[in-house]
Amino acid sequence: MTVDHESGRTGASVEPASVRPGDAPRPSTSDGRGKGPAHAAARTRPPWWRGRDGLGLLFVLAPMLFLFAVLIVPIVYNMWVSLHSWRLTDVGGPQFVGLDNYIEVLRTPRWRDTIVRTAVFVVLTVGLQVVIGFGIAMFLYKHFPRARALRVALLLPMMVSEVAVGNMWRLLYNYDGGLLNWALGLVGIDRVFWLGPDMAFASVVLTDVWQNAPFVTLVIFAALQTMPNELLEAADLDGASGWVRIRRVILPIVQPALLLVLIFQTMFAIRAFGTIWILTEGGPGTATTLLSIDIFRVALQSYDVGLASTLSWFLVFINLIVAIIYMRWLKREPLS
């Protein structure tokens, strides 16, 4: 018996439980210095990759690895190839030449003419697409604001493949039995050699504008639908002319959509290939040869992959320059 001197109570003495050899130690219920329930819970916590954050990281990491494999790796490899003299028919393999391929492109008149011709093609096609597309969008907004059938009709040129468009316009441009020369004959005008040396470049520009201008029309028309009618009514009350209304009222509203159209159409025009190849294959001579066509010829006909990679980087540089110009324009205040 033991006596509690503070309370005066008596009770049986408690002997410590004996621990048999081989028994597992009992877990302590105290939470001091990492030996309590908090420490046990921390020990049973799942690894980070099995938790909610880890699962989210895996979902993000998978597409990033995919983009790295299909985008970053080919870009780096293409840059590496452009620094080498490498013709697939040669036995020696790639030879490192540094920037010699880039210097050769800038020094060779043929490549310089191709770069200039590509720039002219881009300016003409994108400029005509924007002007024509904007005009058709304004016409539809004023006279047929709810005509859904016209919007569907505008989608048709974009839904047709480049091969079909090229073959269709090749038949239209035919010198002997083409529809265009037949129409000219009805009004007494001599036939035109549309795909000849003098008219081939204008013909491919016309074909590209026909196929891509409807996209501009749809985007601008959608932007016009968001314009409040009160703005045009106020302009009418002020006696504003048609050009003033377009310049001061309509263009500030559609400016973001217009810049979006310029960026996309410029990128499409810079790498135009299919329709032009079906129409002229870059000819006659080099009259319709653009950078994309020269890249195809150099890489898949001459098998000079080093020079072809260099030409492809000039396409990238042109795209970057145009995108930077457009983005700087986009950051400006709307037209006023």
The Cβ of residue 34 has, within 10 Å, a number of other Cβ atoms equal to: 10
What whole-number distance in Å separates Cα of residue 114 and Cα of residue 109? 8
Cα 296 from Cα 303, distance rounded (Å): 9
With beta carbons less than 8 A apart as the criterion, state whether 82 and 306 touch. Answer: yes
**Which pTM value belongs to this model?**
0.77
pLDDT in tens, the chain (336 residues): 444 444 444 444 444 444 455 554 555 444 445 455 555 555 566 655 555 666 777 788 888 999 889 989 999 999 999 999 999 888 888 999 999 999 999 999 999 999 999 999 999 999 999 999 999 988 888 887 777 777 778 778 888 889 999 999 999 999 988 999 999 999 989 999 999 999 999 999 999 999 999 999 989 988 888 887 777 778 777 777 777 787 778 888 888 888 889 888 998 999 899 999 999 999 898 999 999 999 999 999 999 999 999 999 998 888 888 878 877 876 665 554
The strand pairing partners of 85, in sequence order, are: 95
| Cβ proximity of 311 and 111 under 8 Å | yes
